[in-house]
Amino acid sequence: MEVQYVKGIGPPGAKVLAKLGIASLEDLLLYLPRRYEDRSNFRTIASVRAGEFVTLKGRLVAVESKAPRGNFTITRAGISDGSGTIGLVWFNQRWIRPRLSKITGEIIVYGQVKEGQWGYEINSPEWEPLAPEADGEEFARIVPVYPLVEGVPQKTIRRFVERGLAYVDKIEDVIPPGIARKSGLRPLAWSLQHVHRPTSLEEAETAKRRLVFEEFFSLQLALGMRHAEEGTRSGIAFRVGPELASEVEAAASVVLTGAQRRVIEEIYRDMGRPHPMNRLLQGDVGSGKTLVAAAAILAAARSGYQAALMAPTEILAEQHYVNLHRLFEALGLKVALLVGKQGKRERDNANKAVATGEAHVAVGTHALVQEAVTFHKLGLVVVDEQHKFGVLQRAALRRKGFGNPDVLVMTATPIPRSLTLTVYGDLDLSVIDEMPPGRRPIRTHWKLPSERDSVYEGVRKLLSEGAQAYVVCPLVSESEKVLAQAATELYDRLKHGALEGFRVGLLHGQQKAAEKEATMLAFRNKELDVLVSTTVIEVGVDVPNAKVMIIEDANRYGLAQLHQLRGRVGRGGAQSYCVLIGAATNPETEERLRVMVETTDGFKIAEKDLEIRGPGEMFGTRQHGAFEFRVADVLRHGRILEEARQAALDLVAADPKLEKPEHAGLKARVETDSARLVRTDIT
Ligand code: ADP
Ligand code: MG
DSSP one-letter code for 89: E
Residue 102 neighbours by CB under 8 Å, 6+ apart = none
What is the structure's pLDDT at 641? 92
Rounded Cα distance between 634 and 459, Å, is 43
291 lines ligand 1 (CB under 6 A): yes
What is the structure's pLDDT at 332? 94
CB burial string 31-59: b at 16+ within 10 A, e below: bbbeebbebeeebebeebeeeeebbbbbb
Mutate to test the pocket of ligand 1, among 280, 410, 571 (most ligand atoms within 8 A of CB): 571
Predicted model pTM: 0.72
- What single-letter amino acid sits at 66? K
- Cα 659 from chain centre: 33
Half-sphere exposure for 134 (CA within 13 Å, toward CB): 15
Nearest CA to ligand 1 atom 10: 286
At the topology level, CATH places domain 1-40+152-169 in DNA polymerase; domain 1 (1.10.150)
Domain boundaries, the chain: 1-40+152-169, 43-140, 242-273+288-411, 443-599
- Looking at all shown ligands, the one closest to residue 285's CA atom is 1
295 lines ligand 1 (CB under 6 A): no
283 lines ligand 1 (CB under 6 A): yes
Among 277, 301, 311, 332, smallest CA distance to 384 is for 311
Centre of ligand 2 to C-alpha 167, Å, is 54
Q: Look at phi and psi of residue 549 and say left if phi exceeds 0, alpha if psi is from -120 to 50, else beta.
A: beta
Residue 444 neighbours by CB under 8 Å, 6+ apart = 566, 577, 578, 579, 580, 596, 597, 600
pLDDT in tens, 230-269: 888 899 999 999 999 999 999 999 999 999 999 999 999 9
Asked if 110 and 53 count as a contact pair (C-beta separation under 8 A), the reply is: yes
Mutate to test the pocket of ligand 1, among 264, 382, 542, 576 (most ligand atoms within 8 A of CB): 542
**Cα–Cα distance list, 360 to 179, 324, 328, 354 (Å):** 49, 11, 10, 8
Rounded Cα distance between 535 and 557, Å, is 10
Centre of ligand 1 to C-alpha 287, Å, is 6
In terms of C-beta density within 10 A (0-12 exposed, 13-18 middle, 19 or more buried), how is residue 418 classed?
buried
| Nearest atom (ligand 1) to Cα of 290 | 6
414 lines ligand 1 (CB under 6 A): no
What is the structure's pLDDT at 538? 59
- Looking at all shown ligands, the one closest to residue 289's CA atom is 1
Centre of ligand 1 to C-alpha 416, Å, is 23
Asked if 442 and 578 count as a contact pair (C-beta separation under 8 A), the reply is: yes
Rounded Cα distance between 327 and 262, Å, is 21
Centre of ligand 1 to C-alpha 526, Å, is 19
**Cα–Cα distance list, 461 to 332, 448, 499 (Å):** 43, 20, 11
| Nearest atom (ligand 1) to Cα of 438 | 25
- Tell me which CATH homologous superfamily contains domain 242-273+288-411: P-loop containing nucleotide triphosphate hydrolases (3.40.50.300)
Half-sphere exposure for 133 (CA within 13 Å, toward CB): 0
Rounded Cα distance between 597 and 87, Å, is 51
Rounded Cα distance between 17 and 10, Å, is 10
- The verdict on domain 443-599 having CATH code 3.30.200.20 is no
Architecture of domain 43-140: Beta Barrel (2.40)
Centre of ligand 1 to C-alpha 260, Å, is 10
| Nearest atom (ligand 1) to Cα of 283 | 2
User: Edge-to-edge, what's the strand order for the sheet holding 443-447?
Assistant: 443-447, 577-581, 546-551, 468-472, 530-533, 504-507
287 lines ligand 1 (CB under 6 A): yes
Q: How many beta carbons lie within 10 A of that of residue 439, not counting itself?
A: 16
pLDDT in tens, 553-566: 999 888 888 888 89
* Ranges in the chain, pLDDT < 70: 132-140, 386-394, 413-415, 536-541, 614-628, 675-683
3-state DSSP of 436-470: CCCCCCCEEEEECHHHHHHHHHHHHHHHHCCCEEE
What is the structure's pLDDT at 680? 41
Centre of ligand 2 to C-alpha 681, Å, is 23
> What torsion do the CA atoms of 604, 606, 609, 615 make, to the nearest 10 degrees?
-140
542 lines ligand 1 (CB under 6 A): yes
| Nearest atom (ligand 1) to Cα of 287 | 2
Nearest CA to ligand 1 atom 1: 286
Rounded Cα distance between 407 and 267, Å, is 10
Q: Would you say the CATH fold of 443-599 matches that of 242-273+288-411?
A: yes
